A and B are shown apart, each in its own frame.
Chain A
């Protein structure tokens, strides 16, 4: 994407029918560190890479508990993510106050998407610069959704966002058919494997990642460091130093057109939403 005369305002269309500011917002998501989600019939696992800016600082919180039955992992502008998490928490609390039952995940993501859409159609606002992987449980089962800055959302069996997420997606595409019937432990194992793919050879330890689980009979919670490290050791996923074959050449092309998954090399076309 290159700068042009139609990208100053979110309320300006390009002649090709694109809103560049919205697409730039989606770029912000791609710059954030990776976040991964997978689900089975009864559980959803969210995993993310936690990179601290320097050795001196703590790392940013990227996974938030929204309610006992819903959690969210974010990539992009974490401040925007924090604000949206607060909104989601309030919505869940208010719904429970009125109806004395849990807010269904599908309803929450629609509200979130509508909120994001507003920011794509007001000249005095800017789109949210964060992508959200919303994982939760309701009467109709376990769900994983991806909410985009554009206001779109999709349901997924498994998905990854953020930098080097393509590596994780490649791994997930290979294994996703088995997820629906997966056990909780295997689902977490697959999340760790997928996460390792995004680290490009760096060692996977519990200090660089965060894992959270929600399931039937299991409230949403973030696994503590010892548990995660024990799982990593158990699955022997510490990671190889040499680049594995399926990691070659999947780094995001820095300024090229269509995003991660659309038809490659077609710069004129609007990227289909991730």
Chain B
């Protein structure tokens, strides 16, 4: 009599890829809009990105139900913060909050792979990258999700100076201009879409800089 194994999992992976790049005075956060389950596409038009505060934008791939729950918790906590402190949360503060929120569920984790992007207190771009239980680090760029293994080596090569390949990183952020960074992101996704079946349909790009926030879309292959 063999031990019965669980045949039901509370998790599912809805696929998708997220990327963020920090610049001297801007931050680019991007994610595809395909939501899948196994070999099926659930929808081609689902946003994985949410603006949590004036200067903090989070993109998350993984199990979207958990992602949505996580987004709601963070939004509520931010509202509470605003009531108590009479100001918006800074990006580094939000980064710590996200880490704590994830670790809070250390023994039944949010199946969410997050990338937090924004502007720090000095107006410089910042990107924080996470694992599912809240381990995080400030970096100059990051990629998470099904296409991350294809994108990360490419970014290491293109964004040489903030790359941890030359440890310690030469610069905290990339010296690229905003337009160059956006172009690079589009290239990343176009390539990832070719080889990763879970990435495609449309690319949503959010750009955060001193003048505010901007949104752009680009079509990706739908196969």
Contacts and interface: CB of A to CB of B under 8 A. Distances in A.
Interface residues of A, number: 8
Contacts of B79: 89, 93
A65 B80 CA distance: 12
A97 B72 contact: yes
A180 to B, nearest CB: 31
B27 to A, nearest CB: 26
Interface in B67-108: 72-73, 76, 79-80, 83
Interface string B50-77: 0000000000000000000000110010
A97 B80 CA distance: 12
A89 B83 CA distance: 8
A116 to B, nearest CB: 21
Residue from the set B72, B76, B83 with the largest chain A CB neighbour count within 10 Å? B83
Nearest to B78: A93
Contacts of A235: none
Contacts of A94: 76
Nearest to B83: A89
Contacts of A65: 83
Main secondary structure of the interface of B (DSSP, over half): helix
B110 to A, nearest CB: 16
B76 A89 contact: no
Contacts of B83: 65, 86, 89
Interface in B207-223: none
A96 B76 contact: yes
Contacts of B72: 97
A86 B73 CA distance: 18
A86 B72 CA distance: 20
A96 B78 CA distance: 13
Contacts of B80: 89-90, 93
Contacts of A86: 83
B85 to A, nearest CB: 13
Given A89-B83, A94-B76, 6 more contacts: A65-B83, A93-B76, A96-B76, A97-B72, A97-B73, A97-B76
14 contacts: A65-B83, A86-B83, A89-B79, A89-B80, A89-B83, A90-B80, A93-B76, A93-B79, A93-B80, A94-B76, A96-B76, A97-B72, A97-B73, A97-B76
6 smallest A-B Cβ distances: which pairs?
A: A93-B76, A97-B76, A89-B83, A93-B79, A97-B72, A93-B80
